[in-house]
């Protein structure tokens, strides 16, 4: 009786914790096995499938885009600035964009255009020249005192979206409205001592 009881319960006692232990191990294996199975399954399936064809193609496209310096500025900066004297006649070239690429027509590899439709400057066709189309004025009376425009540079024969190049044009004073001083410069002597002892 005692032995049976003793043998019975110990057997159950051993069996009952062992059962859940095995179940837990199975659960662990399942839990571990699922991600282990799940993780490699997407990786190998694309590698023999479409991925090896798509990945090198994409890498090549990225590499081409990175190697394609067209439309970047020679200086490596992201914007261009020009200073223009306000007495520059209409039709004059304000400056030449330092953008990389050949904008000549029809065989060039880039195309430059202005984003703004109503701008006092324009890009001369087939060139990198910014040409003044309307008067500019430092005082802003007869024309804008500063112009902020965006040049869109398209890489020809690619589907790449055009690159926007901000261009800041500052008008410098031609000194036509400067105040006139007679007999300048003036010398003024100020004595602190005299001010302090000034009679009240």
| 90 lies in the binding site for ligand NAG (CB under 6 A) | no
Least CB distance to ligand NAG at residue 115 (A): 20
Nearer to ligand NAG, 61 or 96 (CB): 96
One residue of 110, 129, 155, 169 binding ligand NAG per CB under 6 A: 129
Distances (CA, A) of 21 to 31, 34, 36, 127: 15, 19, 22, 80
Q: Which stretch binds ligand NAG (CB under 6 A): 32-40, 114-122, 125-133, 175-183?
A: 125-133
87 CB burial (10 A radius; 0-12, 13-18, 19+) = middle
| 189 lies in the binding site for ligand NAG (CB under 6 A) | yes
Least CB distance to ligand NAG at residue 197 (A): 17
Closest CA to 149 of 187, 191, 121: 121
The dihedrals phi and psi of 169, each to the nearest 5 degrees, come to: -115, 115
93: which 2 tokens? 């070239």
Number of residues binding to ligand NAG, judged by CB under 6 A:
8
Helix/strand/coil for 149: strand
Q: What is the contact surface with ligand NAG in residues (CB under 6 A)?
A: 93, 96, 124, 126-127, 129, 187, 189
């Amino acid at each position: 009786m005692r032995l049976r009881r003793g043998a019975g319960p110990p057997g159950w006692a051993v069996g009952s914790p062992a059962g859940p232990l095995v179940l837990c191990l199975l659960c662990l294996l399942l839990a571990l096995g699922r991600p282990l199975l799940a993780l490699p399954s997407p990786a190998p399936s694309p590698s023999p499938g479409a991925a090896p064809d798509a990945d090198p193609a994409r890498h090549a496209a990225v590499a081409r885009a990175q190697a394609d310096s067209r439309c970047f500025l020679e200086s490596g900066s992201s914007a261009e600035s020009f200073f223009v004297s306000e007495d520059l006649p209409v039709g004059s070239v304000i400056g030449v964009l330092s953008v990389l690429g050949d904008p000549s027509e029809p065989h060039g590899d880039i195309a430059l255009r202005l984003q703004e439709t109503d701008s006092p400057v324009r890009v001369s066709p087939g060139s990198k020249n910014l040409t003044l189309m309307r008067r500019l004025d430092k005082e802003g009376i007869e024309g804008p005192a500063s112009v902020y425009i965006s040049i869109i540079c398209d890489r020809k024969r690619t589907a790449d979206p055009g690159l926007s190049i901000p261009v800041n044009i500052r008008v410098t004073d031609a000194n036509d409205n400067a105040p006139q001083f007679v007999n300048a410069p003036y010398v003024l002597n100020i004595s602190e001592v005299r001010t302090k002892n000034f009679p009240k």
